Chains A and B, each alone.
Chain A
Amino acid sequence: MSRRFKRQLVSYSFLLPWLVGFAALTIGPIATSIYLSFTDYGLMAPPEWIGLDNYVRIASDDPRFWTAMNVTFTFVVLSVPLKLIFALSIAVALNKGLRGLAVFRAIFYLPSLLGGTVAIAFLWRQIFAGDGLLNRGLEYAFGYDGPSWISNPSTALYTLVLLAIWQFGSSMIIFLAGLRQIPLDMYEAASIDGASRARQFFKITLPLLTPVIFFNAVIQTIDAFKAFTSAFVISGGEGGPIDSTLFYTLYLFQEAFVNLHIGYASALAWVLVVIIAIFTALSFLSAKYWVHYDD
């Protein structure tokens, strides 16, 4: 056995646990789901090859798919920009050399750690239910008897948008790091040039922050497309009322594990992958027109 081969063997043996995990838990399921997306498979019987039928049905004969698309796109379009604006506003405020910055940073980051949990989704339910905290507050303050925000099809989705915005912590931390990267003398030069705070923000801060905005936008868009837990918990896994919170992933979950249409759900999953890929590719294509890289 040559010395070089021996050395490589040692390297690969160290990599082996990860390689096994990667093959069994990532590559395996991906390959399987591609295969299953071309089959009719319901867990009880072996998969039956049906070609493109699942994809044809998704495109032409599934009104709930279009409802889920509509709900998900609305959620993405509302939650991503609002969350980014909110996160950037807080980051700008925290970037003013505040005392106890680390404490505030931790406090503002907390919702992001808790936000994705079932407990918070339950809490959200308590706040926006008919007799929830919000309505009690409205009644106390204005005498207004509000509806059940999560049971009302026209407002339910917006409570989930609010929950998403509330989880602004990770974006905020990244914005804060980005703001710290902007050299102070840019602002000093601008103040000598007579630029007001607002002009400095729009003409210097925002353009110099575009790489960070771009990064956050891509990550948050992907996350928003994949949003699941909050809708699942708040709607009790139904996506109701009247499918108004039927996120794409929730519909996919229902098809796979409630209706046991594993093959069809796999096809849905791949459609989502393609949608996310298209969005990401478009984002990268657009980046050259609005993202300013220093070097």
Chain B
Amino acid sequence: MVDLALKNIDKRFGTVDVINGVNLEINKGEFIVFVGPSGCGKSTLLRMIAGLEPISGGELTINGALMNEVPPSERGIAMVFQSYALYPHMSVYKNMAFGLETAGLPRAEIKVRVQKAADILQITHLLDRKPKALSGGQRQRVAIGRAIVREPNIFLFDEPLSNLDAELRVQTRVEIAKLHKELGATMIYVTHDQVEAMTLADRIVVLRSGNIEQCGRPLELYNKPANKFIAGFIGSPKMNFLNIDFRTSTDVNAKFSLADTRLSIPTTLQAEPGMKFSLGVRPEHISTDPKADVLLGSMAVSHVEQLGGQTVAYGQLQDGQSLIAVLEGQRAIASGDMLNVGISHQHCHLFGSDGNRLND
């Protein structure tokens, strides 16, 4: 069942178009992550849903009701801000109770709701403290608690983990995922961190320059990126893009050349010989198996990183194109070594000159 729908949503700041005709339907209980580089419009889109930013064009509906002109407090949403936005002069209890007091709820009910949220977030012992006496992680929990007590239909998170250190970020990420399961509420989460997007989302919405580039399940985006931008954005280290020249094609295969190497990729393709294409290869899919489906040639290793569980090799192919390979285990590779690298057919991502994906 659709909980929230965006129809041709536009946002303009003066003459600058920030969001361009975005269409999206979010189902009840879904965890949606807006992801994209800085300035792509993800936070603006979230703020438009929250009612903090007026909508220039299009329709926003929540539970079927048009929300364009409805004030934030009447949209059935709660928001967790990047800076937490806790009121520094109020205790944790007061911070969490503020919205309920504003709504005129009886004191007893406010107490029950705050206590319940505090129990869920394990912050009961902090209720009398002021925000300045809390750590970053505790402040984050209070900010989430303030959202929970409102019992909203939709939770909005605006880069909530960006102010936490790496360890706490992982821990809080897991807690947010658990919270989603526990509350079963719709959650929309903005981040520029693709790991957060991959681990939390039911569906990821990738934005670029105010447009939705692709929307789908995390593994869908990883396995079948719609274009080079998505392919480069999802996955770490970033996908390698190799320039290849088209040679011929059959009913099942297309043949390309990469320097002196001949490649055969299973796809049907109509093209002129010599046309340029881009082969996307994820670093973690590169193998040194001489029987790999597609052999890319030899790679001159220029730098090696030993991560313990993996070995990351940086280098160049014969024609000078850069390549990063993430190899399983601890490999005895050193700078200056030559590695014969290849990939399997299923891990080939073929992109045309316009950047769009060509193979299935």
Contact = CB atoms under 8 A, between A and B. Distances in A.
Interface of A: 183, 185-186, 188-195, 199, 203-204, 207-208, 210, 292, 294-295
Contacts of A189: 79, 81, 85, 87, 146
A190 B146 CA distance: 11
Interface in B294-351: none
Contact of A192 (B73, B82, B89): B73
Most chain-B Cβ atoms within 10 A of its Cβ — which of A190, A191, A192, A294? A192
Contact of B102 (A188, A199, A207, A292): A199
B83 A193 contact: no
A186 B85 contact: yes
Given A207-B89, A292-B88, A294-B132, A192 B77 contact: yes
Interface in B172-187: none
Contacts of A295: 132
A287 to B, nearest CB: 13
Nearest to A210: B89
Interface residues of B, number: 24
Contacts of A194: 71-74, 99, 102-103
B5 interface: no
Contacts, number: 66
A206 to B, nearest CB: 10
24 contacts: A183-B83, A185-B81, A185-B82, A188-B50, A188-B79, A188-B81, A189-B79, A189-B81, A189-B146, A190-B102, A191-B71, A192-B50, A192-B72, A193-B98, A193-B99, A194-B72, A203-B87, A204-B87, A207-B87, A208-B87, A210-B89, A292-B89, A294-B88, A294-B132
B98 A203 contact: yes
A185 B132 contact: no
A188 B85 contact: yes
B78 interface: yes
B133 to A, nearest CB: 10
Residue from A190, A193, A195, A208 whose CB has the most chain B CB atoms within 10 Å: A193
A-side interface mostly: helix
Contacts of B52: 188, 191-192
Contacts of A186: 85, 87
Contacts of A193: 73, 98-99, 102, 150
B185 to A, nearest CB: 15
Interface in B77-112: 77-79, 81-83, 85, 87-89, 98-99, 102-103
Contacts of B88: 208, 292, 294
A208 B82 CA distance: 20
The 4 closest A-B pairs by CB, nearest first: A194-B73, A193-B99, A292-B89, A185-B85
Interface in B27-81: 50-52, 71-74, 77-79, 81
Given A192-B99, A295-B132, A183 B71 contact: no
Given A192-B77, A194-B72, A208-B89, 6 more contacts: A186-B87, A192-B50, A192-B52, A195-B99, A204-B87, A207-B87
Nearest to A291: B89
Q: Which of A188, A210, A292 has the most CB of B within 10 A?
A: A188
Nearest to A200: B102
Nearest to B83: A185
B161 to A, nearest CB: 16
